[in-house]
């Protein structure tokens, strides 16, 4: 059993990290009061931008290319999310519809451009990130093997962002203001906070993080832009709700999804699991999400004003 867990663990973490960073982005957006269902599309934008930049640069500057690609994905996600922010914050559009439009535009536009460049619509990168073991820490028994061997640098980057995000949201005045905009924007406004600007910033953070998430998929386990992140953005959205809009809750929820999906993927080669039909294993995360949503519906901690356009005239 131990060997199985030790074998599966790196894959589970690799799968969790893009989900985690994307859900964390969604957390900023929803905490400020804007539902961002376009996370899926924003991930695709990052996925594409990352592949584009890395494939162009990796022949000349192989090592820095990956990090430049991640940075470009971050920026592209933030820029693209402006479409959503403009529709939802400035025009009071229906946030779910705007998010759906973002998903469709991103999915179609990136493949359109990729196909124009490569013909097949896929963009291959030659080198991804290399898995490394953390020097001293990997020698710790049990935990060292699980957490500190064969890790990607991006995993540590995302965990650092998680900790910083927790600090920003709960220990800075910016975080307090952001959360106020999602709970009671009118009150926030009367306290002198610029709700519109706050929401713009939050949506852009969500775009940046989702873009980074898409690029992380590319440089860790995918290695090729394929035009879709197969529903990971939606899964991140579910993890956000599952994790009750809290950074640590999101960490737990995304890890659950990552671990459950990985188990389902490798179940055939694990004797203890090969007896369970794949259909059950694959559907397990989705069914559990529905059950958790039902159970937690009474105590839902959803930001009060999430999904509602802010109208200055309504006080």
Name the residues that contact other proteins, by CB under 8 A. 37, 83, 86-87, 91-94, 96-98, 100-105, 107-109, 111-113, 115-116, 121, 231, 234, 237-238, 241, 277-279, 282-283, 286-287, 289-290, 293-294, 297, 300
- Is the CB of 98 or the CB of 220 nearer to other proteins? 98
Specify the DSSP element, H or E, that contains 83: helix 62-85
84: CB partners within 8 A, 6+ apart = 34, 36, 38, 95, 98, 99, 102, 203, 207
- CB of residue 203 vs other proteins: minimum separation in angstroms? 15
- CB of residue 213 vs other proteins: minimum separation in angstroms? 17
- CB of residue 240 vs other proteins: minimum separation in angstroms? 9
- CB of residue 161 vs other proteins: minimum separation in angstroms? 24
179 vs 198: CA distance, rounded Å: 10
Radius of gyration for the alpha carbons in the chain, expressed in angstroms and rounded: 20
- Is the CB of 101 or the CB of 250 nearer to other proteins? 101
- Is the CB of 85 or the CB of 217 nearer to other proteins? 85
- Is the CB of 105 or the CB of 270 nearer to other proteins? 105
- Is the CB of 113 or the CB of 134 nearer to other proteins? 113
- Is the CB of 54 or the CB of 83 nearer to other proteins? 83
- Retrieve residue 311's tokens: 């109208």
Specify the DSSP element, H or E, that contains 124: strand 123-124
- CB of residue 107 vs other proteins: minimum separation in angstroms? 7
149 vs 186: CA distance, rounded Å: 49
Residue 224 phi, psi dihedral angles, 5° rounding = -155, 135
Which region holds residue 115: left if phi is over 0, alpha if psi is between -120 and 50, else beta? alpha
CA 194 to chain centre: 26
How many CB atoms sit inside 10 A of residue 66's CB?
Answer: 25
- CB of residue 25 vs other proteins: minimum separation in angstroms? 17
- CB of residue 247 vs other proteins: minimum separation in angstroms? 19
Inter-axis angle of helices 247-266 and 2-31, to 10 degrees?
140
- Is the CB of 161 or the CB of 253 nearer to other proteins? 253
Tell which residue, 235, 271, 206, has the closest CA to residue 15: 235
């Amino acid at each position: 059993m131990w060997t199985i867990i030790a074998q599966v663990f790196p894959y589970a973490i690799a799968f969790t990290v893009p989900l985690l960073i994307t859900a964390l982005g969604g957390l900023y957006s929803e905490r400020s009061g804007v539902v961002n269902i376009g996370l899926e599309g924003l991930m695709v934008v990052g996925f594409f931008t990352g592949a584009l930049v890395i494939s162009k640069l990796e022949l000349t500057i192989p090592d820095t290319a990956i990090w430049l690609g991640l940075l470009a994905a971050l920026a592209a996600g933030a820029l693209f999310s402006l479409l959503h922010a403009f529709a939802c914050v400035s025009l009071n559009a229906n946030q779910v519809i705007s998010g759906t439009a973002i998903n469709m535009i991103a999915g179609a536009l990136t493949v359109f451009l990729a196909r124009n460049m490569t013909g097949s619509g896929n963009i291959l990168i030659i080198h991804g990130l290399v898995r490394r073991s953390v020097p001293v820490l990997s020698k710790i028994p049990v935990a060292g093997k699980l957490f500190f061997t064969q890790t990607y640098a991006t995993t540590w980057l995302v965990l650092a962002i998680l900790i910083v995000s927790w600090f920003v949201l709960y220990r800075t005045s910016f975080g307090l203001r952001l959360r106020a905009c999602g709970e009671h924007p009118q009150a926030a406004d009367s306290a002198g906070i610029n709700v519109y600007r706050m929401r713009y910033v939050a949506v852009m953070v969500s775009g940046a993080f989702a873009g980074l998430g898409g690029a992380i998929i590319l440089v860790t386990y995918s290695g090729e832009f394929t035009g879709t992140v197969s529903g990971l953005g939606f899964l991140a959205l579910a993890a956000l709700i599952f994790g009750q809009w809290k950074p640590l809750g999101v960490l737990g929820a995304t890890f659950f999804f990552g671990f459950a999906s990985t188990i389902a993927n490798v179940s055939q080669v694990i004797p203890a699991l090969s007896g369970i039909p794949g259909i059950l294993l694959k559907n397990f995360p989705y069914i559990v999400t529905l059950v958790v949503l039902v159970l937690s519906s009474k105590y839902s901690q959803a930001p009060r004003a999430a999904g509602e356009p802010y109208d200055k005239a309504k006080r």
